Structure 1
Amino acid sequence: MLTIAGSGRSRRLVAPAWMRGGLALAAAVLLAACAGGAPVAETDSVVEGVPFVDGERYAYRLVDRDGVDVGIGTFTTGRGDDTWVLTQTYANDDGVVVDESIVVVDAETLQPRTTERVIARGDEVEVVAATYDSDDDGARTVRATLLDGDDEQSRTIETGAHDYEDQSSLWLWRTLALGEGLDLRYTTVDPREGGRVTANVMQVDRQTIETPVGAFDTWVLQIRTGRETVNVWIHVEAPHQVVRFDNGRLFFELESDSTR
């Protein structure tokens, strides 16, 4: 049994059949996974406003490229004194948790403070824990510890002043200056992969999406890095829920929404 730091919950993490054969990380909301060879730029803050609701919970049905349901992804948001605690959990159809991450970010800027992620693959459990620090000159670094089975590693990554944690991406997109003509760049860091990647975000369409919890008028955003493109549908109205997400491996389809 493992307890995710800050969650107070113990869970048995077991990798089911759908997590094997190259799908182990398919649900992960990672842009940094394609960081190798992708250009990195120094980018500014992109947070226009933070629409989160304390205690909000969104659950998504995960569907693979063949149209097969493979599990549920749940995203919850909690408010601290001056932080947001962002938790994403992936479980198979039996309710077994196979991947969970918790990111603590500044409540106004979404600059990351700490992150922890636990991943189950076969009989192995991988744990990634990282702390983001700034020195007196404003330079930022990430100090990460990676435990994979019996192998433990540490790494330090130098980051930009306005880099965001990759695991906070689905929250970050909700804070952008959403609307016609949106076109901006931002940079994320992934302590697990040890890299940074700059992404370009563009508003490419406006669509109405039908879901089990109702219809949503959405902005369609396309997020491109040097080697990968993902698409996200975000509710036009606050709190700007992510209604649909296509990460190139799985579709996330909104199934429940605590704000409705």
Structure 2
Amino acid sequence: MPFTIATWNINSVRLRIGLVEQFLGAHAPDVLCLQETKTLDDAFPRKALEAAGYAHIAIAGQKGYHGVAIASKHPFKTVERDDWCAMGDARHLRVSFEDDLIVDNFYVPAGGDEPDPAINPKFAHKLKFLRELAQWGDRRRRSDTRAIMVGDLNVAPHEHDVWNHKQLLKIVSHTPVETDLLGQVFAAHDWVDAVRHFVPLRQKLYSWWSYRAADWDAADRGRRLDHVWVTPALKDGLVSTSTLREARGWDRPSDHVPVLVTLER
């Protein structure tokens, strides 16, 4: 039966819970994965999601920073979280379902502004995280694994995942060292890019637009930072994808928009 998963860096779930409710009412994915929730677990707006039909909620929260959550219409079989770079940050959740489908939700470090790990600890942290992620993927390699990996990976890997490839080669999120490392993550588990499966690489596609632009829509200087990947066992079941560009124009929006993928389980 069709199964829809959505990923969205909400940039404060308590501030934007109304937008989450609006999105769920209009699109009703089976599973919603949020990043940058920016709240402790006990302050998470659980009741609003339950009222919207999402009774099963897994949370990895952190006060004021980071944070990921998974809200589902279907019960979880297991819930796990890993500590990346031994920093204790809330950047990952893994859930499984009764049919052994696995969903991993990630919030990769943004990396700051200077793409030099020698002088920028935030960028060094990001590179270490991506290296660990590649090793993690390699450890989990199995040809029959039915897994979906989603999240704000904070890397726009392809030429047309950014508004200007040449200008952004020295900008954090599109530097060669980041795109190469994300490529290693992608290869480590033979992932399939579920969004680019439907949208050709030659076509511009973004999921993030900076708050700094006076008119984000007119400038259209976006990047595709939010991803949905599936293992080869799920590739033939892919049905459709959508990137909800209009959500960037909602009242008091996140700088990211929801990305949805539908597949047959």
**TM-score (norm: length of structure 2):** 0.35
Give the structure with the larger strand fraction.
1
More helix per residue: 2
Give TM-score, length-normalised by structure 1. 0.35
